[in-house]
Each structure stands twice: as structure tokens, then as C-alpha cells.
Amino acid sequence: MTVPMALLGLLEREPSHGYDLKRDYDAYFGRGKPLPFGQVYATLGRLARDGKVLVGEAEPGAGPDRKRYVITEQGVSEVEAWLHEPVEPEPHLQTVLFVKVVLALMSGRSAAGYLDRQRAAHLQRMRELTARKRTGGLVDALLADHGLFHLEADLRWIELTTARLDALAAVVRP
């Protein structure tokens, strides 16, 4: 997820204060990793510098003065182009999981033990996502499903690789 594009997309709905953008980002995209306020304002500053948002005058409020941010036509065009472009399909052929298996085999360590620990970590994460899916709303459920499908694919790969460890060891060991 690219934070600048998410903030621009949120601003396209309506002009907003930084606090409101952070709240909406966290509600829709920040599951488990809220956006720091400093990053919100630093990103908005770069977007303003690059002509993608306009910064309104400071408005008095209950707390410190607040500035309202408005997306520009250039910002709208960038969001449109970004939404039109497909995301690069994942997964990539270089994964930490695979690197660890190969290095364990090359060094004579237990790749099977590593795969067992990784399987347990995946299953734990699947339980967490399943609980979130049951207790959350539609956004949580869809995000959890996305994560669960990826974890299921990893688990299938772990099982296949475990069955082929001896053959892989013969290929990667000197």
C-alpha cells in the first residue's frame, strides 16, 4: 500500500484535515499498523510541494489550528492512473521463506525443523485472521480472506517442499 496514493484517494472523496485522513486511513487500510501522525503530515507536505494537494488556511478548532487539504486536478489524474494500473502479481520468485530453506540445507542445518516452525507460525496467523474475520465487519473479512488465501498457498508450498527436501539438498549442497 502506498501511503501517498491512499491519502490522495481519501482526499478525492472530500477535502479533509490531516487528523481525519489518519483516522480514515487507519479504519480502512491500517489494520494492525496505524499510520503515524508524523507520516501523515510529511506525506501531505510532499503532496503539496508536488502540486497534488492544496493546503488551506489554518482553521481554529478545539485544539491546535487545523489545515484542510484539497486534492488538485493533478492529484486526481494521478489517482486515476494509479487505480487503472494493475498491481504486479505476487508472489515473487525470491522469497525469504525459500532463501531460508536453501541456506539451511547448504549449511547442514535442519530445513525440516525450520519448515515445521514456519508452518506453526502460519497456522497461528491463520487463527488470528479467522478470529478477525468472525468479529469484524466486511472490510476486516475481505482483508482476512486475502491474507488467509496467501497463507494457505504458503502452507501448500511448505508441504511440497518438506516432501522434496532430500532432492533439494542434493541440488544445493556442494
In a domain, residue 10? The reply is: yes
Choose the final residue of a domain: 84, 105, 122.
84
Choose the final residue of a domain: 84, 105, 139.
84
Which ranges of 33-72 would DSSP assign to H, the alpha helix? 37-49
What is d(CA 43, CA 7) in angstroms, rounded to the nearest whole number? 8
What is d(CA 153, CA 130) in angstroms, rounded to the nearest whole number? 16
**Digits of tens for pLDDT over the chain (174 positions)?**
589 999 999 999 999 999 999 999 998 888 778 999 999 999 999 999 999 999 987 776 666 668 899 999 999 999 999 998 887 776 666 688 898 999 999 888 899 999 999 999 999 999 999 999 999 899 999 999 999 999 999 999 999 999 999 999 999 987
In a domain, residue 27? The reply is: yes
Q: Which contiguous run of DSSP H or E holds residue 17?
A: strand 16-17
> Is 75 found in the same domain as 105?
no
Q: For residue range 144-156, what is the model confidence (pLDDT) as tens digits?
A: 999 999 999 999 9
> Is 109 found in the same domain as 163?
yes
Nearest to 98 by CA among 147, 148, 164: 164
> Is 8 found in the same domain as 44?
yes
> Is 21 found in the same domain as 78?
yes
Residue-range definition of the domain harbouring residue 135: 96-172
Instruction: Count other C-beta atoms under 10 Å from residue 71's C-beta.
Output: 24
- Per-residue confidence (pLDDT) for residue 62, from 0 to 100: 65
Choose the final residue of a domain: 84, 111, 136.
84
> Is 113 found in the same domain as 62?
no
In a domain, residue 89? The reply is: no
- Per-residue confidence (pLDDT) for residue 145, from 0 to 100: 96
